[in-house]
Chains A and B, each alone.
Chain A
Amino acid sequence: MEQLAKQKIIQDLLPQKFGKQGKIWVAGLIVLCIIGVVAYIRQLSKGLVVTGMRDYVSWGIYISNFVFFVAISLVGSLITAVLRLTNVHWSTPLTRIAEIIAVSAITFASLIIIVDMGRPERFYNLFLHGRLQSPIIWDVIVITTYFFISILLLYFPLLPDLKIMLEVKKGFSKGMLKFYSYLGSFWKHTPGQIKLSEKAIGILAVTIIPVAFSIHTVTSWLFATTYRPGWDSTNFGAYFISGAFLVGAGGVVVAMYVFRSHYNLKEYITYDHFDKMGKVLVMLALLYLYFNVNEFLVPAFKMKKPEEEHLRGLFTGEFAPIFWFAITTSMLVPILILITKKGRRPFPAFIAGVLVVIGSWFKRYIIVTPTLLHPFLPMQDVPANYKHYFPTWEEWAIAIGSLAGALLVITIFARIFPIIPIQETITEKEEHEKALS
């Protein structure tokens, strides 16, 4: 009986070949990536002049996209580390989804920052001439570290699953099996190995939390270490991290729904998961709302001269539509949806998750760009188009291409590896049954 249940779990959770929908999805993503690459080649040859950025708006959607990626990557630490350390077990099936989102997002965060550079071929200068005083160097250090930890956190729990797949053999091509055995043929699932691995995962879970906080705090410092209205805030680190957890959790809910419906994982990602993640989302949205109130109400109460223009632009001016759209879709509407029990069923939760992710992307845009259009000295002695910013098709293509690329990495990962940890699910079930008997 037990053996049968185990076999079923393995069969259910093994990576599956792309269906028709899957193939269309992958093809679409590849096309978007290619368009992005073409746009980037244009940018390389002509310079950043192909973007809508100019001297005043010197950071545009590349940077807001970067912040978005870094934000969403924080979810790896939330789901795997924070929930694990607080002894929450329902999140076990979600850990790998969260980790791959983290790895792929942090990879594309690094790529998009290179895209934003005027001289990408001089990237090596960061290592050759790096100045420890610059927050960018801090960012380079913490992002590298976070990437490395996330890879390890993805790898250790994968080892038992590699063994399972190597044993099943059926349905895998020779090349894939070779790849699996290259990655994990040494895993024999001996008690010694399990003990070492569990210890390592425990240490990683503790380590990843401060590092995750660092990546997003340092990213917020790229803005907060300047004098500009809207960025000059001591609240920025916490504000960014709360927003990051929100968008990350939103992303996980979306991924949960997609994997659940396309890989037929209804028994593993249950209503209960959506219910709990929904509650987590509400909490995070409220937390982020709290920081938003802090971030805008306090300066708006004082209305210091440099802040005034900036805040009026957000509340009622040029940026008001995007500002209120971002606030509404990333926080208010998801809270309203998810606060009811019915709203936390898979589909409404999925919609709420999508809204959170989209709203959060625009929220990052609102954080980056409007500030740059309100410098201390008036905008003067520049061509008229320097005084506004709208991304060009190249920028959109590259930004969308990078998002597509991140999704592609997640998709391919799910094609090669079980997206829900098999061994951990079995172990949990066994322990659960043991506890019952």
Chain B
Amino acid sequence: MNTNDNSRREFLATGLLAGLALAGCSTKKNPFDELANDVKPSGEMVKLLSVDGEVIEIDKAFLKPVPDLPQVSNEAARMGIAGKKFVMVIDLARCKSLKKCQSACNHMHHIHPGQNWIKVYPMQDAEHTAPYWQPTTCMHCDEPPCVKVCPVDATFKRQDGIVLIDSDRCIGCRFCMAACPYSTRVFNWEEPSLEKEIADKPYSCETSVPQKMGTVGKCDFCPDMARKGELPHCVSACPNGVFLFGDMLEDTVTNGAETFRFSDLIKDKAGYRLMEDLGTKPSFYYLPPVGRNFPFENNEKKEATK
């Protein structure tokens, strides 16, 4: 009986997965989508009232977000979402280091205080070049040096391009941290301070929650949100629309408010990737800080010099 239930739940999850993958995802404002005829029906029907005042039945699999979306299995989390290739674009012209992205990320992933998965660097390449703010997350490289060196498959590259960490697998050797040229990985040197409720949750590679002592953590591109058709927390938290997220195979990136065709955007604004010469092939693009929305003001530095 129990196993039956489980298999049905998994079936539901894979149905949703396929729906998301093939039909594209609904917007934040439209979390329901019954046009996705590629979705496998779950057999569980929900009765609804239509605008014409008729009672209609809709398969639960077509409703998004499903109220009790089951956590995907470790195997599914390692495979990734089929037919997707996630990409992030950062518009450097819009960043004024408000760090809303950082605080949203820290909050949603229950990161240990003092740790940051998103870092906003004050950059100035040389004396006479322009200073600018550079937010970095994990670059989710297509040829990730961190994954190359992991001895136990604890960090892995998925088919949708996302690089994740399995904190139940990680042995804490920290080779990946040494291998990552973007200094994106952090280590849980002590027991992360978590509410009991969070700490007792089973670990999920897709939410990266809960963080565990003696293992490595980093930005995960919020694949749990992507499964729901929603944007990563940093993207929706940024008031200036610096972060644009999307699916390369849809050739679209969005910050929720504005949506761009990815290829056009990169072409028009001369997008680039960080440390291209290392051959890591990041899934993370930057638009140069041209025509800025804000002047560069480094208050941290001022405070530090005081």
Chain A residues packing against B (C-beta within 8 Å): 46-49, 51, 53-56, 58-59, 116-120, 122-123, 125-126, 128-131, 133-137, 140, 222-223, 225-228, 372, 375-383
Contact = CB atoms under 8 A, between A and B. Distances in A.
B179 A126 contact: no
B190 A46 contact: yes
A381 B170 contact: no
B191 A47 contact: yes
A58 B187 contact: yes
A53 B214 CA distance: 12
A48 B171 CA distance: 13
Interface string B183-223: 10111111100000000000000000000011110000000
B149 A377 contact: no
Nearest to B212: A119
- Give 3 nearest A-B pairs by CB, closest first: A118-B172, A118-B214, A49-B190
A128 B168 CA distance: 13
A136 B219 CA distance: 24
Given A118-B216, A129-B152, A133-B149, 6 more contacts: A118-B213, A122-B172, A134-B150, A222-B175, A225-B179, A382-B116
Contact of B186 (A55, A122, A377): A55
B82 interface: no
A225 B149 contact: yes
Given A119-B214, A381-B102, A227 B145 contact: yes
Contact of B178 (A117, A228, A378): A228
A59 B178 contact: yes
A9 B137 CA distance: 69
B166 to A, nearest CB: 9
Nearest to B168: A122
B63 to A, nearest CB: 37
Given A48-B172, A117-B173, A119-B171, A136 B149 contact: yes
B214 A47 contact: yes
A129 B153 contact: yes
A381 to B, nearest CB: 4
Contacts, number: 138
B100 to A, nearest CB: 14
Specify which of A372, A377, A382 lies most central, judged by the most chain B CB atoms within 10 Å of its CB.
A377
Given A49-B189, A375-B183, A380-B121, A126 B149 contact: no
Contacts of B191: 47
A310 to B, nearest CB: 14
A372 B178 contact: yes
A387 to B, nearest CB: 12
Interface of B: 102, 114-116, 119-123, 136, 145, 148-154, 169-175, 177-179, 181-183, 185-191, 213-216, 275, 278
A131 B151 contact: yes
A376 B169 contact: no
A110 to B, nearest CB: 13
B119 A123 contact: no
Contacts of B213: 47, 118
A376 B150 contact: no
Contacts of A55: 115, 177, 183, 185-187
A274 B155 CA distance: 51
A225 B191 CA distance: 30
Specify which of B154, B175, B178 lies most central, judged by the most chain A CB atoms within 10 Å of its CB.
B178
B214 A136 contact: no
Nearest to B186: A55
14 contacts: A49-B190, A58-B174, A58-B177, A58-B187, A118-B171, A119-B215, A125-B152, A131-B151, A134-B148, A134-B150, A134-B151, A136-B151, A377-B121, A380-B122
Main secondary structure of the interface of B (DSSP, over half): loop
A376 B189 contact: no
B149 A118 contact: no
A236 to B, nearest CB: 14
Given A47-B191, A381-B102, A134 B175 contact: yes
B187 A378 contact: no
Nearest to A127: B152
Nearest to B185: A55
Nearest to B213: A47
Given A377-B182, A381-B102, A381-B116, A129 B169 contact: yes
B171 A126 contact: yes
Given A119-B171, A225-B149, A48 B189 contact: yes
Contact of B175 (A128, A129, A136, A381): A136
B188 A228 contact: no
A117 B190 contact: no
A271 B217 CA distance: 57
Contacts of B186: 55
A118 B188 contact: yes
B121 A226 contact: no
Contact of A376 (B148, B153, B190, B275): B275
A137 B213 CA distance: 23
Contacts of A46: 190
A370 to B, nearest CB: 13
Contact of B153 (A131, A136, A381): A131
Contacts of A119: 170-172, 214-215
Specify which of A117, A140, A226, A228 lies most central, judged by the most chain B CB atoms within 10 Å of its CB.
A226
Contacts of A381: 102, 116, 119-120
Nearest to A132: B151
Contact of A380 (B119, B169, B171, B181): B119
Contacts of B216: 118
Contacts of B169: 122, 125, 129
Given A47-B189, A47-B213, A59-B178, A123 B151 contact: no
Contact of A118 (B145, B178, B182, B187): B187
A112 to B, nearest CB: 13
Contacts of A58: 174, 177-178, 187
Given A48-B189, A118-B172, A226 B178 contact: yes
B172 A126 contact: no
Contacts of A140: 151
A380 B120 contact: yes
Contact of B121 (A51, A53, A122, A378): A378
A54 B119 contact: no
B111 to A, nearest CB: 12
A228 B181 contact: yes
B185 to A, nearest CB: 8
A133 B155 CA distance: 13
A47 B188 CA distance: 8
